Chains A and B, each alone.
Chain A
Amino acid sequence: MSEVSPTGLTVVDEVEGGGRTLVFTSRLFMAANTTLQLSLLFAFLYLRANNFGGMWHPSGIGTPPQVLAIISLVFPVITLLALWAVWNAVSKARVSNAVSGLLWLALVAAVLTGAVRILLMYQFNWELDSAGTYAAISTLWYAVMLGEFILVGLWLLSLVMGHVRGTDRLSASHARAILDQWAYITGVSIVVYLLVQYVK
């Protein structure tokens, strides 16, 4: 509603940040997350560069098997593509059953992502306090990424449930926000994969 105030301007009832706020905040979290990732990157490179006491990569410490590592990247990419398709459909207001199907696909792939990454975390054959820092930082980093995949995955779950149960139809901005997030952490996990596999 609107009236005219003494200054001749329109008086509004409430500003609705709404969708804009959502997308914006999703990017803010990426920015904050970047600091976290850079800290881990710094730790990784710093420990590798110094290699105190030759304990960066002691003999007997393995790297995760290539196949598993790659599989762990395939699933998030599937989710990513599904989410992109969802966003594409929703933003063009073509909300159909296809959207629900895509959402389910994304969710399943996300769950598999988590499962595979848990497997991945235990692929270094190391003893606790003699493993050196390569295994340590890699495991920690995997754990952090797992945590982020789980958080965004839960968010995805809530969207899916809200959508399929019709309590909360998926909005374009929602789709966009989660698409951004998932794209970001997928990108980061690819970088981590490259580091852990090839910068050992």
Chain B
Amino acid sequence: MSTPPTLARRLSEWGLLLGVIGAVIGFIIGFAVGTHAIPYSFGEDNSLGSDPGILLGYALSVVGFLGGMGFLNYPIGRLFGAKRPSEEDNAYLHGEGGGLSRYFRMTTDHKVIGLQYLVMILAFLFVGGLGAMFIRTELLTPSPTVANAQSYLTLVGLHSTLMIFMASAAIIGPFGNYFVPIMIGTRNMAFPRLEALTFWLLPPAGLILLSTVFLGGFTTGWTGYAPLADQNVLGMDSYLIAFALIGMSIGLSGVNMIATIMTKRAPGLPLTRMPIFVWSVLVTSFLGALAAPALIAAVLMEVFDRSYQTTFFVPAGGGSPYLWENLFWFFGHPEVYIFVVPAFGLVMEMLPVFTRRPLWGYRVAVGGMVGIGLLSFVVWQHHLFVSGLAPSLRPFYMFSTELISVPTGIIYLVALGTLWRARTRFTVPMLFIFGFFFNFLIGGFTGVFLSDVPSDFTLHASYFVQAHFHYTIMGGEVFALLAAIVYYLPKMTGRTMDTKLLRFQFWAVFITFNGTFISLISVGILGMPRRVISYAAYLQPLNISATVFAYGLGLSMALFLGILLWEVVIKQRVAARNPWESLGVEWQVPTPVPTFNFDRVPVAWSLPYDYDTGKPAADFGPAVPAFSGA
């Protein structure tokens, strides 16, 4: 390894900086071209620029960013038939030799990428949460106070869209990328550069979305309904570009994950013995790969509408708002299962550890998740029950929507079966798992009311809906995320945040969360529509209680972040090698995990949940130190 580092390698040390410079250059070029070279006959009375300028500017700035990060070196090299990168280069790219700098440049090590994801997800989560705090503060009174009608809608849009970005990668991003390759016994993803790309699309997406406040904001919320989106000011463009980036990230990571899981499993590991979490990631990846392109198509049309003055979504021009609603929700409904299915997988992955039981009904659990995946493609029109679109189809969508509660119910059966007669260990992650099941149960039952057309006529587009999906996403996925953070940090960082205070934190977040959203469920039943800054006076008491609880929720989430930073970043409390005494493969490899995971690929796999026999899942061959003490 004494060969002098290549130029590309020297440059990529400064990857992030170069990326920012590239982004600026890209934006300037794109903006100039878009503003002056593209024929454009409206919106010119805006000193901030025109839609083509902003759109092209953002698009090229992302290209510039990635180029600066060094994503284009390899493909361009291939174009000219350059040699494949040397072993050293690949090892360097993989982050060999460690060091903190790995986390700030393009790295193909799935473990580094997992941690990068974790940080980015938490950033999205807490910035979005701050938005929620502002929204609740505004809703203390029935008429505008801290925000005005304009900034309030932008606030709603930012909160929802950021949270959607967060949720669509919250679990598959950090834990999927970090643990799936280890769990299936491979040293790397099928396409490591692609994996790096899927992460490095996130920061630009987040920043571009936030930049909307400089462009007048957007008033459509995260659903971006047309033709209102056609009507919006320049702020809409940042929503479109950001969402397109997230769509690409979801789709590409889906393809990459599927390819890895299907073709790079260790010998002796059939699909039927994969850890349940890998199964959930597989299902999710199929959803992402097959659903995201619909979003890309919709966004493309919207971009054409805004920059090229086509009329895809403008009725008077021959288009239709229903077109956007259909395409968007065809992506949007699988999207919500992209959120929760990995959460199911993680929870079922952790349950056996704390019950010291094999996972009860592994096969039905897999079947359940696959069933959810299949059904999620044929339910999207339940978002359009009152839209006046194809009334005769409503019974079918009502049926398919209610049908989806069957595979979801299976997850509960599996949980009950695993807990049955088990002496459960009430560790902090277990508490969060309990919270997950409680909240998701409420989320599921509120969903039944929305799937039934007659009752949906009262509840549709009300705060009932809002509370419903917060129960599934925040109460479900985010609770699973918190559990997983506490559970896996010892593995990912060698440090632990498991303290007494964390138990209090759980109860705080659990109670305040339910307080907030039970208030909001009742507000919705009493007839408060979503996304309004002014509401009927008789709804104020419930809104106040929601806000008060929401503050508590915000504080307890902040407390979680505080504990995380204090214990892991500052005090750096060292964790036991396998604090939960898990038999999972990921806990058998040493901590920190070697750059290439295994010195030998383990074989002879059994289901990783044989807690009754205590037999670990994998055999690491003769004399592998990682194996001792398991």
**CB-based contact A52/B320 at 8 Å:** yes
Taking the complex as formed, is B535 at the interface, i.e. its CB lies under 8 A from any CB of chain A?
no
A7 and B604 contact, CB distance less than 8 A: yes
Q: How far is the CA of A31 from the CA of B287 in the complex (A)?
A: 11
* A35 with B190: CB separation less than 8 A: no
Closest to A38 in B: B294
**A43 and B327: CB pair below 8 A?**
yes
Given A9-B604, A129-B309, the answer on whether A52 and B318 have CB atoms closer than 8 Å is yes
Give the docked Cα–Cα distance between A55 and B622 (Å).
73
0 or 1 for each of A4-29: is its CB under 8 Å from B? (1 = yes): 11110111111101001100110011
Q: Which of A65-73, A91-99, A155-163, A190-198 contacts B (4 or more CB under 8 A)?
A: A155-163
Check B78 for interface membership: any CB of A closer than 8 A: yes
Closest to B194 in A: A25
CB atoms of B190 and A21 under 8 A apart: yes
Contact A161 B297, beta carbon cutoff 8 Å: no
Let me know if A53 is at the binding interface, CB within 8 A.
yes
Q: How near does chain A come to B76, taking the closest CB pair, in angstroms?
A: 9
* List of A residues within 8 angstroms of B300 by Cβ: 140, 144
Question: Given that A6-B619, A164-B81 are known contacts, is A136 also in contact with B320, CB under 8 Å in the complex?
Answer: no
Once the chains bind, are B190 and A168 in contact (CB under 8 Å)? no
In B579-606, the 8 Å CB interface with A consists of 600-604
Give the number of residue pairs across the A-B interface with Cβ within 8 Å: 185
A46 to B, closest residue via Cβ: B323
How far is B257's CA from A24's CA once the two chains are assembled, in angstroms?
12
Nearest B residue (CB) for A18 = B263
Are A24's CB and B263's CB within 8 A?
yes
Contact B600 A162 (CB under 8 A): no
The one of B191, B330, B620 in contact with A39, judged by C-beta atoms closer than 8 angstroms, is B330
Q: Which of B264-272, B354-362, B479-487, B560-568 participates in binding chain A?
A: B264-272
**Is A154 in contact with chain B by the CB < 8 A criterion?**
yes
Any A CB within 8 A of the CB of B551: no
Min Cβ gap B218→A in Å is 21
The verdict on B301 contacting chain A, using a C-beta distance below 8 Å, is yes
Mark out the residues of chain B between 290 and 309 whose CB falls within 8 Å of any chain A CB in the assembled complex. 290-294, 296-298, 300-301, 304, 308-309
A5 with B622, Cβ < 8 A, contacts A12-B601, A36-B296 known: yes
Q: Taking the nearest CB of chain B, how far is it from the CB of A101, in angstroms?
A: 17
Q: Which residues of B lie under 8 Å from residue A47 when comparing CB positions?
A: 312, 318-320, 323
Instruction: State A42–B327 Cα separation when bound (angstroms).
Output: 9
Asked if residues A53 and B316 are in contact (CB atoms below 8 Å), the reply is: yes
Docked-complex contact A52 and B319, CB < 8 angstroms: yes
Pairwise interchain contact A32-B79, C-beta atoms closer than 8 A = no
- Which residue in chain A gives the minimum CB-CB distance to B305? A136
Is there a chain A Cβ closer than 8 Å to B405's Cβ? Answer: no
| Complex contact A25–B320 (CB within 8 A) | no
Contacts of A7 in B (CB 8 A): 603-604, 619
Is the CB–CB distance between B290 and A11 below 8 Å?
no
Chain B residues lying within 8 Å of A54, measured Cβ to Cβ, are 318
Cross-chain contact B258 with A28 (CB below 8 angstroms) = yes
A129 to B310, CA, bound (A): 6
Contact, CB under 8 Å: A167 / B84: yes
Q: Beyond the given A29-B255, A35-B292, A144-B300, could you list 13 further A-B residue pairs with CB under 8 A, ordered by the A residue number?
A: A11-B603, A17-B263, A46-B323, A52-B315, A56-B318, A128-B39, A139-B310, A140-B304, A140-B310, A161-B78, A162-B78, A165-B81, A167-B82
Q: Which are the 9 A-B pairs with shortest beta-carbon distances?
A: A55-B318, A161-B81, A11-B621, A39-B297, A136-B310, A36-B293, A158-B78, A165-B81, A35-B293
